Structure 1
């Protein structure tokens, strides 16, 4: 039986999540040309996990997979000294620069927008530095104008998609009295009005039934956004930049999502240095790499969490979508675990760290058995019991 605390948590359901229900989610780096996207991507690529760590899986030149820095994972590896260590990772895609008119096919237009449709979240890189050597596609540096340009292009593409969907629904409604067609038609009208009002789909307060339909559309403005402000090293070091207050004000008026100041050229230099030199440089110049924060924030933004399985053979992070229940989390390990799910034996990382061993956690009454309704939390350490014909328990 799950403890009462778990039940009370379940009593207040979370807002339904927009996006694909999958543990294989990815984030795309988006922005105008010459804002620092490719330098950021190339910097991240140097930190990426070798392709051979992903058998039977092609990693394209514009994809990188970067381990999530996590002290909990490091601590578990120290405790168990396992034969195998598998960290969680974030998959990042570099997407070609967008220009005004992309929704009508300008620049790489439709190609660019189809690449955004294929990712689950967006790192929106904004240029907040002036440099006569690096031209700006609009001839002057104005990150708020750039924000408006990209946001409008994504909205216009979504309006185009919804218009096409409405046409198809209207044709189908002439041939059928299916109530579901009417429900979807009404939602599309609402979404179109919302977009025409200059608002992004992810910022709407949609009902669970709406979200179910919206998730089949994969609209561009439904994807979560993290804003990366690329400034010069001096501004980054002194934590001041003339463009930041305007960017902050714009973002607050458009959903208030996360803004991360960064200095892409600094990050490139740090990753090119030996580790000890990079640490010394950061100490002497009183700067810190923003990369760990960027990776962790991106992972959380696309609604991913992970639980641990831990023992002397392996310490592994298993990526799942937030709000996943125990049987589906077990299925991330093997489909048999989900089919024959009996229970999840769960301990909190904090309890294991404080008490020092699994036996001590059990003795303190903090090792719990959870059933099918348990919603897995980030950082849970789980041992699944399952039973399938001819399978036995694990």
Structure 2
């Protein structure tokens, strides 16, 4: 049975923070030497530098990571297509921030600009002690580290909002600028209270305006806790309780995922069969799939399927996307000439085995322009192709 999320803010008419569209990216963020590049290496299977000194990573590394999906795998097995295309999540490895980054410390302005270019954040903190892996703050304290990153993102947002507010106040007699100034005042009050933009309540009008500012604390986040192999296998660490309490209080709704860079590196190096045996003997598993899925969901991304003997493909869209917009991810002509979409669920296909069986059971439906696509829909788009231009 497929378990798919069916309700979302977009269904209720609530606008979402962030850029519209489906080409959204996650950035790996944290202090130096907490395991960001090690995580990126294991996610991407690429060999990027992961050295024991601050600012080893300067220009952000980029990778497209397949999004794990058991339904997609089942569809591939069923259709045995010539081409199999999963959903992908784009992830950037961003250099380590330090205290004072918002004021330019440690190339902070450059690195903060890299965060501004992504749509969501993996906050990485470490809870392992290792004398050979230096800590820029000279001790291991994940709550302090997370607080430093939050304070730097908040400080940068305050700078940006103050600059916009100053510009808006200079314009006299303009109702639009006056309304913007009022919203900027509210935004500034929220930031100065220590609250991230994503954790405050906003009207649709305010969200529409916020989305033009590209503020760092508006970006959804996932907290990743890098543990030693020993602590990861035992599922405990002396720092975890305080860290969980801090996140629940200051970063509500931001999920926390423990992982071990050491474990993930080992599993990558020993190969698939040995990795499966290692996981079974240690009663453990890789956290990478969970990390990728958490980032995908925090960006409010879902996907629908197109299926056939030629290809089974996942098409990534933002939650709340209507059928014509989904058609447009396949080809812009499909959106322009959209007629309807034939839609059925994977559960219906499992039950009735073939598309004709689904249709005979009345489980295939035709949906029009107002239909909001659901995660895991199987779709076939009908559209009028564009008319050929007449030759002169």
TM-score by length of 1: 0.91
Deviation at 1:22, TM superposition (A): 1.5
Q: Answer yes or no: is 1:238 the counterpart of 2:234.
A: yes
Deviation at 1:205, TM superposition (A): 1.0
In 1, Cα distance between the equivalents of 2:99 and 2:79? 54
Q: Answer yes or no: is 1:225 the counterpart of 2:221.
A: yes
In 2, Cα distance between the equivalents of 1:9 and 1:138? 40
Aligned residue in 1 for 2:287 = 290
Length, aligned pairs only: 370
Which 5+ residue runs of structure 2 have no aligned equivalent?
Answer: 1-6, 48-58
Counterpart contact for 2:8–2:319, Cα < 8 Å: no
Counterpart contact for 1:309–1:317, Cα < 8 Å: yes
Secondary structure in 1 matching 2:12: coil
Counterpart contact for 2:8–2:320, Cα < 8 Å: no
In 1, Cα distance between the equivalents of 2:31 and 2:8? 42
Aligned residue in 2 for 1:385 = 382
Aligned residue in 2 for 1:315 = 312
Aligned residue in 2 for 1:147 = 146
Q: How does 1:241-390 map to 2 (within 5 A)?
A: 241-254=237-250, 255-390=252-387
Q: Answer yes or no: is 1:204 the counterpart of 2:180.
A: no
Q: 1:47 to 1:295 in 2, by over 3 A?
A: farther
Q: 1:181 aligns with which of 177, 180, 192?
A: 177
Counterpart contact for 1:96–1:108, Cα < 8 Å: no
Which 5+ residue runs of structure 1 have no aligned equivalent?
Answer: 1-7, 49-59
Deviation at 1:256, TM superposition (A): 3.4
Q: 1:353 to 1:105 in 2, by over 3 A?
A: same
Q: 1:10 to 1:238 in 2, by over 3 A?
A: closer
Counterpart contact for 1:47–1:66, Cα < 8 Å: no
Q: 1:22 to 1:10 in 2, by over 3 A?
A: closer
4+ residue segments displaced more than 2 Å:
8-12, 388-391
Deviation at 1:9, TM superposition (A): 9.3
Deviation at 1:73, TM superposition (A): 0.7
Deviation at 1:284, TM superposition (A): 1.0
